[in-house]
Structure 1
C-alpha cells in the first residue's frame, strides 16, 4: 500500500476504474456459464444437447482466443482508450444474438463475438492501467482490471439466482453504456508519444499527475525510451531472437499456462455442477455467491499489498494454497467414488469449503499477478504484440481446459483431474521461485532493462520514495540474469 493517499492518487484510481469496465464484462461472461448452464438445460424452446451446451459455454474462450490478435491491431492503431470506445457496439450485437435466438448456431456465434469484445477491451484496459500509473501506484492500479473482473463474476452469480439465462444476458447490455465514461479521460501518454503527439501527451500526463506536478522527468524518460525503440526499426521476426522479447515472452507464456491449468476454467465455469456432483449440503447458488464475495474481498486485499509484498510472494502463497484446496477436493471425490456413502454423510461441507479455499487462493495471486507481469515485463516497443500473444495463449489454455475437463473426469475421475491441477501448481511454485523477477517499485524502463545488458534511469521521485534505488535494481537484475531462461 502506498504511504500517502493524495488527491492525485484517488484520481489515478478513478481513471483506472473507469477503464476496468471491460474486465467487468469479461468477468460477467466468465461467471455466466455457472448459473446459465442449468438454466439452458431447462429451456424447452432451445432444447440443446449436452454437447451443444458445452460448445455454448466454450464460446467465450474461443472468442477471447481470436480477439487477442484483434486487440494487438486495435490498441496500436486506435489507442488503448480508443479501442474501448470503438468496439462497444459489437458487444451489444453479440448479446442480442445470444439472448433472442432459439437457434444453437446464432447463440454460439453471439458468445464468440462477446468473447472477442471482452478480450480486446481487457487487453486495452490492462495496458492502459499500467501505462497511466506512476511507478509507486502501478501494482494497485494495474490490479483494478482483476478486481472488476471478480465483481463481474459476483454480479452474474447474484443475478443467476433469480433470472433465467436469457434475461441475464440481456441485463449485460447496460455495460457498454459504461464504456462512454472513457470519453472524459485521457489517452495513454505512452501511446500518444509513440504516435508523435507530444503536446497531447504532455497534457495527458499533467491530467494524471496533477496540475502542480513536475512532469518533465517522466515525459523525457518515456520519450527517450520510445526513441530508443523506434531507432531499432519496425518489428520483424528477427526481434523474436532479441532477449528483451523472448525472455519476458517465455516467462509470460509459462505463467499463463500455470494460471489456466490450475483448474480455473473448469472450476469457474462448472462450480454449480461440481457442488451438485459432490452432494454438498450447502445450497449451490448461495455457495457460488459466497465464493464470489470471498474472491472479490481477497483480490481487493491482494491489490493493496502487491506493491509492498511484491509479485513473487503473492504468487507463491497463492500456489501453495491452491495446491491444498485441489488435493482436498480430490481426496473427497476419491472417497465418494471408492468408499461407503454413509462415511461421507457428514462431510458434505468439504466441496464447498475446498472451493472457498480455491477461490480465495486463486484471487490472492494467480488471478491478477500474471497479467500485471505481462504488461510490466513487455518492453514498450513490443507491448502490444506481446500482450496480444499472452492473452491469446491464456484464452487458448482456458478453452482447452474447459473442453478437456469432461474427458479428464471420464478417464481420470474427478479426483484425478483435481490432482492433475494440483501437480501443475507445485511445478508453478518452483518456476516462480527460480525464474520470475520481482518488479515491485521499478519503472517500466527498469523492468525492461532486467532482460538486456542496458541500464535504465532511476526516477528519484518514485523509486527512492519506495526504497528502491540503484542498489536494489542492480541486485534484482543480477539475480534474474543468473537464472537459466
Structure 2
C-alpha cells in the first residue's frame, strides 16, 4: 500500500457519521442515537465473542488417559496457528481448525482399536492448538478498548464451562457418547462463523479498505462515528507495512523482546503452576484427601472454577490485568503451600485419627482456593495480554511461539503430574507453589498494565 493510498484512505468519508458533528436543536437526538448505536455495537461484538467461544468449550472434553496426546497435537497446531491466521484470516483459520476437531472426536467415539483413539486425540489437539491462539486474538481485535479485557476473558470462561460439562456428563454417559458431545461446539461454530464479521484489523492489514470499514461499522453500530478509531488503525497498519521483514537480530530491540518475553513467560507460568495436573487428576487428589464421592466433588470444583472465571471477566476491565495477576498468583502460592503442608503431615498421622481427617479437609480447602485463585487471574489474563501486546508485524510468528510454549508446558505437566503425585503429594504441591511465587514477582516487575488502552497505543508504548 503506497503512502498516497494511505492518505486517501484516511480521508475517505465514512457512512452515517456526518450528523455526529451537527450542532443546535438536533444535538440531543444525535446523542441519543449514538448511545443506542453503542448498545447495538456492544451486542454485535458480544454475539461475535459468543460464536468464537464455542471453540474453547470443547477444550474441557478431554480424558486423562489420553490427555498428553491431545497436548502433542496442540503443539503442532500452535506452530501453524499464527501464520495460518495471517494468511487465511481469523474466521478462515477457525473454520479450518474446527474440521480436525470434529474428525478427531468422531474417531475417538467410533474407534475400533487404540490407533483410532490416538489419531483422534492428535487431530482434536491439532485443532485446539489453532483455536487457542486465534480466539483471543480475534476477540482482542474486535472489542472496544473498555470491554476488551472482559470479553477476552470469555475465552477462558468457555474452557472452564467445557471442563465443568465433561465432569457433569461423565457422571451419566460413557466415554463414546462424551466424545460425540465434544464435537458439537465445533459443529455449531462452523455455520456461526458465516454470521460474524472478519477482524477489522486483519482486513486493514491486508489492504481490504471497504471490507475493513464495513466490519468496523457493524461492530460499533451503524450510527456510530468510527473515524477516529479507523484512522488510528490505518496509521498503525501503514507504519508497520512500510517496514521490511523483521530479522532475528531485530528481536534484540526492546519493542520486540519485551512483549515476547512477557507473553511467552505468562503463558508458560500459567501451565507450570500445575493447574492441568490438578484438574486432570482431581478425583485422585480428592480420594487421597479422604473424600468418598470424588467424582461429584470434581464436578463441584469445575462449577467453582466457572463462577470464579465469570467474576474475573467482570473484574478485569475494572481492577486491571496486572493487579489481578498479582492477587491471583499470591493466593495460589498460599493455597499450594497449605495443601503441601497438609499432605506432608498426613504421612506422619494414623489414618484412623481425627487429625488425619482434619488434614484431608484442609487439603481440599487449599485445593479449591488454588483453583479459585487461578481462575481469577492466571487462567484468563495471560491469553488476554498475549493478544494485546505482541507487535502486529511479528504477531503471527510470535503468537505461534507463545502458544507452542503454553502447550509444551501443558504436555510436561500432564505427563508428570501423576508420577509426581505418586512420588510425593506434598512435594508436588511444593513445586507448584514455588512456580506460583515466581509468577507473583514476574507480574509485579515485568507485566505492563493494558487496561483502557487501544491496541495501537499499547504497541506504540514499546517503541
**TM-score if structure 1 supplies the norm length?**
0.84
Is 1:98 matched up with 2:101?
no
Cα 1:103/1:239, change in 2 over 3 Å: farther
Over residues 423-444 of structure 1, what are the superposed CA-to-partner deviations in whole Å (9 max), with x where a residue is unaligned? Answer: 1111111121111111111111
Match of 1:345 in 2: 357
Cα 1:202/1:87, change in 2 over 3 Å: same
- Which structure is higher in helix share? 2
Match of 1:357 in 2: 369
Report deviation, 1:353. 2.0
Is 1:244 matched up with 2:277?
no
8 A Cα contact 1:326 1:421, kept in partner? yes
For residues 423 and 335 of structure 1, the distance between their equivalents in structure 2, rounded to whole angstroms, comes to 19
Task: Map 1:322-341 onto structure 2 (within 5 A).
Answer: 322-341=332-351
8 A Cα contact 1:316 1:432, kept in partner? yes
8 A Cα contact 2:325 2:443, kept in partner? yes
8 A Cα contact 1:280 1:350, kept in partner? no
Is 1:433 matched up with 2:455?
no
Report deviation, 1:346. 4.4
Match of 2:297 in 1: 287
Unaligned runs of 5+ residues in structure 2 are 1-34
Report deviation, 1:311. 0.5
2:308 to 268, 293, 298: 298
Is 1:181 matched up with 2:214?
no
Over residues 142-190 of structure 1, what are the superposed CA-to-partner deviations in whole Å (9 max), with x where a residue is unaligned? Answer: 1111111111111111101111222111112222222121111100001
Task: Indicate the SS of the match to 1:340.
Answer: coil
For residues 434 and 373 of structure 1, the distance between their equivalents in structure 2, rounded to whole angstroms, comes to 15
Match of 2:418 in 1: 406
8 A Cα contact 1:260 1:397, kept in partner? yes
Match of 2:7 in 1: none
Match of 1:23 in 2: 56
Match of 2:20 in 1: none
Match of 2:243 in 1: 232
Report deviation, 1:275. 1.1
For residues 421 and 301 of structure 2, the distance between their equivalents in structure 1, rounded to whole angstroms, comes to 23
Match of 1:126 in 2: 136
Report deviation, 1:87. 2.8
Over residues 377-410 of structure 1, what are the superposed CA-to-partner deviations in whole Å (9 max), with x where a residue is unaligned? Answer: 1122122222211110001001111112233335
Match of 1:267 in 2: 278
8 A Cα contact 2:70 2:124, kept in partner? yes
Over residues 205-229 of structure 1, what are the superposed CA-to-partner deviations in whole Å (9 max), with x where a residue is unaligned? Answer: 0000001111121111111111111
Is 1:150 matched up with 2:165?
no
Match of 1:41 in 2: none
Report deviation, 1:414. 1.0
8 A Cα contact 1:97 1:107, kept in partner? yes
8 A Cα contact 2:320 2:450, kept in partner? yes
Task: Map 1:7-18 onto structure 2 (within 5 A).
Answer: 7-18=40-51
8 A Cα contact 1:280 1:351, kept in partner? no
Point out the more displaced range, 87-96 or 236-245.
236-245
Point out the more displaced range, 293-302 or 124-133.
293-302
Report deviation, 1:347. 4.3
For this pair of structures, how many residues does the alignment match?
A: 425
Task: Map 1:457-476 onto structure 2 (within 5 A).
Answer: none
Match of 2:330 in 1: 320
1:202 to 193, 200, 213: 213
For residues 393 and 214 of structure 2, the distance between their equivalents in structure 1, rounded to whole angstroms, comes to 22
Match of 2:13 in 1: none
Cα 1:346/1:417, change in 2 over 3 Å: closer
Unaligned runs of 5+ residues in structure 1 are 38-52, 453-485
8 A Cα contact 1:80 1:128, kept in partner? yes
8 A Cα contact 1:325 1:358, kept in partner? yes
Match of 1:385 in 2: 397
1:419 to 430, 433, 436: 430
For residues 273 and 114 of structure 2, the distance between their equivalents in structure 1, rounded to whole angstroms, comes to 30
**TM-score if structure 2 supplies the norm length?**
0.88
Larger gyration radius, structure 1 or structure 2: 2
Task: Indicate the SS of the match to 2:146.
Answer: helix
8 A Cα contact 1:20 1:122, kept in partner? no
Report deviation, 1:240. 2.2
Match of 1:47 in 2: none
For residues 97 and 267 of structure 2, the distance between their equivalents in structure 1, rounded to whole angstroms, comes to 25
